[in-house]
Every structure is written in structure tokens, then in C-alpha cells.
């Protein structure tokens, strides 16, 4: 199950929940004040590493040009 960071604009409460995306479409309420929570956008740790993924050497075999 994906992990989402949620934020309440009324009381500045932030929390992290493991929920399905379709459950996000429901009105998820803040546990402190009952206001609707919004999803915070965050960066990911997705990095392409290894041979063949660099910007200038995409999918080249060694020794060939």
C-alpha cells in the first residue's frame, strides 16, 4: 500500500498514512480538528543507475558508437 503525507490547513497537523489512492478521493478527516486533509507533494528517491541510463550514453553497448 502506498504511503502518503497528509496536511490539515486549519490546525497545521501533518501525518503519514498507508492508504489506497481511491481512499484519498474520500474526504479523509483530520484526527485533531475534523477538517478535510490534503495530500502533500514530495520528491521521490527514484534514481536511474547503471550502464545504459546516463544522459549521453543511453542504451549503448561498450565498444560500439
Calpha distance 29→45 (Å, rounded):
28
Specify the pLDDT at position 61.
58
Nearest-5° angle of CA 54, CA 43, CA 22? 115
pLDDT tens digits, 2-54: 788 999 999 999 988 888 878 877 878 898 999 999 888 877 777 777 666 55
Full strand arrangement of the beta sheet holding 3-7:
14-18, 3-7, 38-39
Calpha distance 38→11 (Å, rounded):
12
Specify the pLDDT at position 35.
92
Residue 24 phi, psi (nearest 5): -65, -30
Q: How many other C-beta atoms can be found within 10 angstroms of the C-beta atom of residue 19?
A: 14
Amino acid at each position: 500500500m502506498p504511503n502518503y503525507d497528509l496536511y490539515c490547513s486549519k490546525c497545521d497537523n501533518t501525518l503519514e498514512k498507508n492508504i489506497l489512492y481511491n481512499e484519498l478521493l474520500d474526504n479523509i478527516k483530520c484526527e485533531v480538528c475534523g477538517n478535510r486533509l490534503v495530500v502533500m507533494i514530495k520528491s521521490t528517491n527514484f534514481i536511474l543507475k547503471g550502464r545504459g541510463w546516463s544522459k549521453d550514453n543511453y542504451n549503448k553497448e561498450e565498444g560500439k558508437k
